[in-house]
Structure 1
């Protein structure tokens, strides 16, 4: 990464903003998603108290093939929204795919975006999609980040049904631990939704858009830890039930029936793991505990990590045993070619052994059949002739 993008940044020196706590959307992601603004931007769908401030500048007029810093070639625009655009690009120097967020340098949020990108880059946690570069030049501000072609976002996974219990357990565990580490460094997400959580081909869960996507949208929160914790609870709820835990439909998921309030996941769908159901409720319910066990709510990612560690560990399912195909006998197997195969259930006659030659006195040896001899009597006959 260039030195200009990895140096520690004092946000006050850049723009006078408060230290960044940000929330991200899948539309500004590492490119696993295409141009799909499934996000409704409604408070009901997201369940957070974030606020947005519109930008005044128009998005840069760029096109496929345009190069940034004579290195990053823009390939495809995946998002164009609210004064910024997101692209899939190619790093021609390292010959790899990358994602790029672009906005004018005079955009009202340009300074915040740069500060958020540099702060996220300094975190260096592999559980987050990494920021590779953050540059302000030629009247443009752009942020370069990883592109994960082998990763699948949670929205796509949930389109085919709820997650398996162990997979949901791994997802909430890894996401909670990652967000707890980010908050310890003063970073927030504030836009954590099914489009911002990815599962790689190796089974690892990664989070995209830490700090950067919230800065792009101008989102802030007075209680960033509570906001991110509730978002993790919503992710777990969706993973268990394939439903969004608010009344509005969002991210390709149906919302809850209107007027009934928040329903525990194990009451929405049969067969839901009881411990994970209660964990989701503890992260989602703001005014206290679940009705069943009166456990205290989790208000920070750190508390959520502690609650998960106190649960009995959920083991992966046993691999399914596949019976081998039935053995097929053929006439070409060794020792059977040209022979008649015995029929099952039929007793086969055992051939009698060839008769043994009986030793006879010498006076009868002349009458032996050819091939029948007796060394014992032959020796006796020789001895008698010598005598």
Structure 2
């Protein structure tokens, strides 16, 4: 079956552009492993080819989208060809250097998708994190000029990928050509973690590696049955969600964006899965070159089985990785036939004994203490049994008339003492609230609640926005969730890698937070901040009484709370009311996320107390 396109969504991580495999842009799903020499000799350099079925699903103007659809004058060699044998990945070689369209944060596509942050600019296209304002959710967007030689291929690849509808792949949501731009919109998974980040912490557990290779093999087998290949299956293209599901991004679109093609797409993707399994077992890249934050193998020694690289590797998974990788005929020690297609991998995994999760460990109970009532010792102490002191019986209760009188007398005294104490306590509490000249009306110690520091009514919040003095906001669309009165919703930051101060990014050098507008100048006497999670460095600042639209830290001179690490709730009653209209809840440092080396924070709810003007 001729291939409809070649790859899916995220191309943000370009650190390991030397990826696994890839060759010809009309990658067919029926490709079987060719010898290395034949693959190299037959490597095509034409643009990505698509069948009529995929083209018709793409758009009426791309019914004949093949490698010949490139504009006149574009050399056919502008496509990238990579051998599935060397594993060094795609060597992009574009004949005509093109600049991605110059767009900026805040630009809207189709009046709906607002660009937020540019993730990457490469080879004539750019990738963005954006917000779908219609559905109020984060999305990813790939952009390139409509006259780019690969624009038609990208559109056809995206539309063909969207038709698959397999939730094991990151879904393509839209593919549009308008205003001299071609853009592809795809899912954004904020709770998912790249395999690259997981491997940075060390090799995966055996069960996790087993689940990954199982789910990836089944997903790619289903894709190839529909004529779709990936060709860019690298650690940055594999995600693990918070529920433990593995998802693939990059089906069709990623390779089409780079012009990567392959004569043997099934072999290419199978080797890629083998390399990913090898990396999860050993934390090493199965080639000589370092890639994706992983060290390569020693030079001039060839491909070494995973269980020879690292002790304790599961033997069955080690052999499976060797069968999937291209290694000059050497497979596993049992000389099983190599796996050349994802279907072969699925069958090989089915033949393996199922790998179950590790059993939870329990603390051993304390050693059983032998008692004197064991068989053979019943009723008599053992030779080494400790001597138990005899139990002294309690004294006999008072008997006779005298005892009864004494008990009644003690009871009466206790009742009288209890009544007297209760009366004295009630009198003291009543006198405490009175002053000389009072007519009996109870008041608080200072005369009224409204004069007590921190007391007052809850102030109404007119609006709120993100504090972002050095660049665009981080999650502007989620700011209303911090003032909606619901503790289960929150404004949450993205994940930042390596540094708690928002990834040490120049655009976040002053942190972030939320600026609240109370609508008018009011007397503020109390603050309640409910945080998304504890461990954030937070301070609350207030602008001057005459401030108008403050945006920088210097615009908030009144410090309501000191900068300190807070728990999940920050409560403050001010000693003296502050007259202000604008309040900044400033976050300068984030707590660690569940994944090692990543940081994330946020605000669940904001409440302010005082006297309305």
Give the TM-score category using the shorter length: 0.7 to 0.9
Structure 1-normalised TM-score? 0.76
Larger deviation: 44-53 or 290-299? 44-53
Instruction: Report the CA distance between 1:292 and its aligned residue.
Output: 1.2
1:145 equivalent in structure 2: 186
Instruction: Report the CA distance between 1:320 and its aligned residue.
Output: 2.9
- Larger relative contact order (C-alpha < 8 A, sep ≥ 6)? 1
Instruction: Report the CA distance between 1:23 and its aligned residue.
Output: 4.6
Aligned partners of 2:88, 2:227: CA distance in 1, in Å? 19
Report the CA distance shift for 1:241/1:139 in structure 2 as closer, same or farther (over 3 A): same
Instruction: Report the CA distance between 1:37 and its aligned residue.
Output: 2.2
Aligned partners of 1:85, 1:162: CA distance in 2, in Å? 32
Say if 2:391 is the partner of 1:349.
yes
2:16 equivalent in structure 1: 39
Could you say which structure has the larger radius of gyration? 1
Aligned partners of 2:138, 2:308: CA distance in 1, in Å? 44
2:312 equivalent in structure 1: 271
Report the CA distance shift for 1:145/1:345 in structure 2 as closer, same or farther (over 3 A): farther
Aligned partners of 2:310, 2:171: CA distance in 1, in Å? 36
1:365 equivalent in structure 2: none
Aligned partners of 1:26, 1:289: CA distance in 2, in Å? 33
Report the CA distance shift for 1:345/1:318 in structure 2 as closer, same or farther (over 3 A): farther
* Cα pair 1:56 1:107 within 8 Å, conserved: no
Aligned pairs for 1:156-171 within 5 A: 156-171=197-212
How many residue pairs get aligned? The number is 318
Structure 2-normalised TM-score? 0.49
Say if 2:233 is the partner of 1:192.
yes
Instruction: Report the CA distance between 1:319 and its aligned residue.
Output: 1.9
Aligned partners of 1:24, 1:146: CA distance in 2, in Å? 10
Report the CA distance shift for 1:88/1:129 in structure 2 as closer, same or farther (over 3 A): same
Report the CA distance shift for 1:81/1:204 in structure 2 as closer, same or farther (over 3 A): same
Report the CA distance shift for 1:370/1:83 in structure 2 as closer, same or farther (over 3 A): closer
SS at 2:308 equivalent: helix
Aligned pairs for 1:16-31 within 5 A: 19-23=3-7, 27-28=11-12
Aligned partners of 1:181, 1:74: CA distance in 2, in Å? 33
After superposition, the CA RMSD in angstroms is: 2.7
Instruction: Report the CA distance between 1:51 and its aligned residue.
Output: 6.5
1:119 equivalent in structure 2: 160
Which has the larger strand fraction? Answer: 2
Could you give the per-residue CA deviations for residues 187-233 of structure 1, whole angstroms, max 9, x where no partner exists? Answer: 00000010000000000000001000000000000000000000000
Instruction: Report the CA distance between 1:318 and its aligned residue.
Output: 1.2
Unmatched tracts of structure 2, length 5 or more: 20-81, 366-385, 403-613
Could you give the per-residue CA deviations for residues 317-373 of structure 1, whole angstroms, max 9, x where no partner exists? Answer: 11233689xxxxxxxxxxxxxxxxxxx986352306749x9xxxxxxxxxxx769xx
SS at 1:173 equivalent: helix
Instruction: Report the CA distance between 1:71 and its aligned residue.
Output: 0.2
Could you give the per-residue CA deviations for residues 136-182 of structure 1, whole angstroms, max 9, x where no partner exists? Answer: 00000000000000000000000010000000000000000000000
2:170 equivalent in structure 1: 129
Give the one of 319, 328, 342 matched to 1:301: 342
Aligned partners of 2:91, 2:260: CA distance in 1, in Å? 5
Aligned partners of 1:205, 1:76: CA distance in 2, in Å? 25
Which has the larger helix fraction? Answer: 1
